[in-house]
Amino acid sequence: MRRARSEDAKDERRQLLLSAALDEFFERGFSAARIEDIAQRASLSKGTVYLYFDSKEALFLALIEDLATPNIEQIEQIAAAAPSLREALDRLAVFAPVMIRTSNLPRLMKVLIGDSHTFPDIIRDYRKQKIERILGALTAFLDRAVDRGEIPPQNTSLTARLILAPIVLSGMWQAVFGRDADAEIDLEALFRLHTDLLLKALSPEGTKS
Amino acid sequence: MRRARSEDAKDERRQLLLSAALDEFFERGFSAARIEDIAQRASLSKGTVYLYFDSKEALFLALIEDLATPNIEQIEQIAAAAPSLREALDRLAVFAPVMIRTSNLPRLMKVLIGDSHTFPDIIRDYRKQKIERILGALTAFLDRAVDRGEIPPQNTSLTARLILAPIVLSGMWQAVFGRDADAEIDLEALFRLHTDLLLKALSPEGTKS
Amino acid sequence: MRRARSEDAKDERRQLLLSAALDEFFERGFSAARIEDIAQRASLSKGTVYLYFDSKEALFLALIEDLATPNIEQIEQIAAAAPSLREALDRLAVFAPVMIRTSNLPRLMKVLIGDSHTFPDIIRDYRKQKIERILGALTAFLDRAVDRGEIPPQNTSLTARLILAPIVLSGMWQAVFGRDADAEIDLEALFRLHTDLLLKALSPEGTKS
Amino acid sequence: MRRARSEDAKDERRQLLLSAALDEFFERGFSAARIEDIAQRASLSKGTVYLYFDSKEALFLALIEDLATPNIEQIEQIAAAAPSLREALDRLAVFAPVMIRTSNLPRLMKVLIGDSHTFPDIIRDYRKQKIERILGALTAFLDRAVDRGEIPPQNTSLTARLILAPIVLSGMWQAVFGRDADAEIDLEALFRLHTDLLLKALSPEGTKS
DNA sequence: TATGAATGAGTCTTCATTCAT
DNA sequence: GATGAATGAAGACTCATTCAT
C-alpha cells in the first residue's frame, strides 16, 4: 500500500480503518473481531493499524465517537425545525427509511448493544449524550405542540418514546435480519401508517371519543 | 460437587449450567464468555461442563432453544384468547412490564442480537419460528378485529409491528441500560399510554377525522 | 507430561520451571528469553507455565526470590562463626571455589546485572537485603578482630569489600567466560594466594614496615 | 535533521549514534533496546540509523569495537611505564576512580556481561584481546618486579587478578548501583587502602612473617 | 541523505478442549 | 461422574527492517 505522508492522506487512511472496523465489529462483535481482518479489509497490514490507533479498544472507542454524532443531529434537527406535529411526523416518516437503509446508525446500534457490557461507560455516555438528547428534543417539541393546543396534554416524555420505538426497532431489525431477503419490511408503508395512527391518536378530536 | 446419578439430578445440573451460561453470555457475549466462569457460577468445575454439553457452541445453542419457547407462547396466548382489541391491548399492557422486568427474554434478546452474526442460522430460525409466529398471531387477531368491524381495514401486518415495537424496544432498553438507575422507565405508564393511543388511533370514529 | 495433582508434585514442577527459567534467563537475559523455551526445557508446554506463574515477570521475580537466600546465608555463617581472621579467610578460600563452581549464585549474579535496569527495585532490594548484609557481617567480624588486637585499626568496611572482591569477580568470570575452556582459573590457588596476601597485609607486624 | 555530506559530518553523526546506542543498550540490554529510541536520543529518525549501520547487531558490534580500545590502553600504559610497584599501584589508585566515574568502561562492562551469551564470539574476543592483554601486561610488570627483587617470587598471574579485582568490581558496582545515592563508595579511600594492603603484602619483609 | 509509514515475523498470553487421576 | 492440570491454537501487540517520498 502506498504511503500516507500528508496529514490528509493519513486522515483518509484513518477513516478507511474506521470503516473497516465498523464492518468487522458489526459482523463479529468487539471480542471476536480480529485486528488482522480489519487491516485486511482496509488493504493494510496488521501493524499499520497500530500506527493509527493505540489498541483494539482505542479503535473501537474512536469508531463510536466518529459515528455517533452526525446521524443524531439530523434527527434533532427535525424535532427542532418542524412547524407542526404533522409536518414533523411526515419528515420523520421520510427520513427514517433512508437512515435505516443507508446510514451506519443501525449497525452502530447493533455493535453498541452487543458490546454494551464490555464498555459500560461508553454505553452510558452514549445514552445520556445522544439518546436522551433526542428524546429530550422530541419531548420539548411535543410540549410546544401541547402549548399550541395542537395535541392534548399528556406525558410527552413517554409519547416521545412511543413515536421513536418503531424507528429504532426497525433499525435493529435491519441490522440483525438485513441479510435475510425474506425479512424485508416495507419501511415507507410502515412509517406512513405509524404517522397516520399517531396523528389520529394525538389529535384533539380523537381524544374525545 | 457430589455426583449426579439420577436423571433428575442431571437435569437440574443442566438447568443450573444453562442459567449460568445466560448470565455470562449476557454479560460478555459468546466470544468473550469463558467456560470456566460459567462453570464457577454454577459451582462446578470446567471439565464438568463438557459432561453436559459438547462444546461452548452447543451450550449456547441449547440455551437459545431452552429459553426461546415459554415466553413466546404466553404472548401468543394473549393474541389468541382476547375477545376484543381493547381487552387484548389491556392484557398486553399488564403483561409486558412483568415480562420485561422478570423474564429472561430481554437478556436473551440482547444475547441474540450481540451474537447474531456469529450464529446466522440460529438467528434466522429464531425469527422465523418465534418472532414471525408472534407477529402472525397478532396480525390474525387484528384481521379478525377488522372482520368484526372493530377496527377499519388496514395493513394489519404492519399494525402488529407498531403494536409490539415499544414492548420489544423496552425489553432491549432494560437489557442494555437496566443497570443504570437513572435510565429506569415507568413501564406501566408507558404501556397504558401506548394502549390508549392505539385504541384512539384504531377506533372507527378516529378514522373518519 | 503426567499431571501434578498433589501439592508436592506441584511444588516439584514449580521448582522444575524455576530451574529451567534460570537456565534461559542466564543464557538470554529476561527480555530475550522465551517462555516457550523455558517450558520446553522443563518438558512442559507453554500454557503450563502460566498455571504456575502469572507472567514472565512473575516467574523472573520468583526466581530471584527463590535463589537469593540460601547461598548468602552460608557466606554469612562463615563470617559469624570463625574464631580468628586466619580461620575465616581459610574457610572462605575453601568455600568460594565450591560456591563459584557448583552453586547458582554466579549465574544469578549475571542475570541480575544484565537486567538490573529492567527491574531497578528488585536490584536495589537485593543489594540492601543481601549484599549489604554480607558486607556488614564481614565488617563486624573485622571490627571484632580489631578489638581483639588481631589486626590494626582501619576502615573495616572498605577492607571487607577488598576481601570479597576477588570472590565476587571470580563468580562473574565463571558466569561470563565459564563456557570457554581456555578461560579457566585455578580458583583454589587464587584464593589461597588471596588469603596469604591478606594475612600478611593485615597482620600487626606487617603494619610497622 | 540537515544532511551530513562531508566525511567529518558523517563521522560525527556516527559517534552520536554510538553514544546514544550505549545509553540504550546500557539501560535496556541489547534485546530490549529499541532502534527508534536510539535514533531519538541522537535526534535522528529511525531510518537514518540504517544509513550508518546495517542492523541493530552491527550497531552493537561497532559500539563494542569503538569503546573497547581507549581505556584499556591507558591501563596498559600504567603497567608498562611505572618504575616501581609502589609507583604503579599509586597511579592505579588515582586513575581507577576517575575511570570508574567518568569513562564509559563500567557501562560497557555491564552491557557485555548482560548480553554475553547473545554474542559469545564478541565476548570471547573481548576477553582475549582486551582483558587478557591487560592481565598479561600487569603480570609482566610483576615478573619484572620479582626479577628486580622488589617483591618475592609468586604466581604473578594470579596476583595480577587480585590487584585488578577491586577495580573491576567497583566499576560493575558503579554501573549497576550508580543510580542509588546510598550505594556510593569512597573510591579514593578504597583504592588507597587497596594499594596499602598490597604493598604490605607484597613487600619482601612482609613475606618473612 | 533523511524521514517515517508500512510490513510481518515473533512473542506473550488466553482459553476451549482433552484426559489422567 | 467430577476434577483441574496440561495442551496448543489463536490473537493482540511490538519492533527490526524496508522503501516510497
Task: Please write down the long-range contacts of B89-94, taking CB distance under 8 Å and 24 or more positions apart.
Answer: B89/B163, B89/B194, B89/B195, B89/B198, B89/B199, B90/B195, B92/B163, B92/B167, B92/B191, B92/B195, B93/B188, B93/B191, B93/B192, B93/B194, B93/B195, B94/B191
Decide if pLDDT at D208 tops 60: no
Q: Point out the residue nearest to E1 (C-alpha to C1').
A: D3
Residues above pLDDT 90, as percent of chain A: 80
Mean pLDDT throughout B109-126? 93
Q: What is the pLDDT of residues D111-146, one digit of tens each?
A: 999 999 999 999 999 999 889 999 999 999 999 999
Pick out the nucleotide with least CA–C1' distance to C54. E13
Provide DSSP, A71-111: HHHHHHHHHHH-SSHHHHHHHHHHHHHHHHHHSSHHHHHHH
Does the beta-carbon distance from A209 to B207 stay under 8 Å? no
Q: Which amino acid is at C114?
A: G
Q: Which residues of C touch D115 (CB under 8 A)?
A: 29, 114
Pick out the nucleotide with least CA–C1' distance to C45. F7
Q: Are A99 and A62 in contact (CB under 8 A)?
A: no
Does the beta-carbon distance from C29 to D115 stay under 8 Å? yes
pLDDT the model gives residue A75: 76
pLDDT the model gives residue D4: 60
Measured between alpha carbons, how far is B44 from B53 in angstroms, rounded to an integer?
13
Neighbours of C3 (CB within 10 A): 9
Decide if pLDDT at D209 tops 60: no
pLDDT the model gives residue B82: 85
| CA of D97, C1' of F15: distance in angstroms | 39
* Best residue of A177, A184, A186, A203 to probe chain B, by most B CBs closer than 10 Å: A177
pLDDT the model gives residue C75: 76
Q: Are B87 and B46 in contact (CB under 8 A)?
A: no
Q: Over its length of 209 residues, how does chain C's per-residue pLDDT go in tens digits?
A: 678 888 898 999 999 999 999 999 999 999 999 999 999 999 999 999 999 999 999 999 999 989 877 767 777 787 788 889 999 999 999 999 999 999 999 999 999 999 999 999 999 999 998 899 999 999 999 999 999 999 999 999 999 999 999 999 999 999 999 999 999 999 999 999 999 999 999 988 644 43
Phi/psi at B153 (5° precision): -60, 145
CA distance C202 to chain D (A): 7
CA distance A9 to chain B (A): 33
**Alpha helix (H) residue ranges in A152-203:** 156-177, 187-202
Mean pLDDT throughout A168-173? 97
Does the beta-carbon distance from B114 to A118 stay under 8 Å? no
Between B80 and D20, whose confidence is greater?
D20
The band of B208, judged by pLDDT with boundaries at 50, 70 and 90, is: very low
Does the beta-carbon distance from A193 to B113 stay under 8 Å? no
Secondary structure (3-state) at A39? helix
Mean pLDDT throughout D8-37? 94
Q: Which residues of D touch C60 (CB under 8 A)?
A: none
Does the beta-carbon distance from A114 to B118 stay under 8 Å? no
- Asked if residue D1 keeps its beta carbon closer than 7 A to nucleic acid strand E, the reply is yes
**Which residue in the set A158, A200, A209 is minimally distant from B190, CB to CB?**
A158
Element of type H or E holding A136: helix A132-148
Alpha-carbon dihedral of residues B184, B188, B190, B196, nearest 10 degrees?
180
Q: What is the pLDDT of residues B78-103, one digit of tens each?
A: 777 888 999 999 999 999 999 999 99
| CA of C20, C1' of F13: distance in angstroms | 26
pLDDT the model gives residue A77: 81
The upper half-sphere exposure of residue A209, i.e. CA atoms within 13 Å in the direction of its Cβ, equals 20
Measured between alpha carbons, how far is A121 from B23 in angstroms, rounded to an integer?
20
CA distance B43 to chain A (A): 23
pLDDT the model gives residue B188: 97
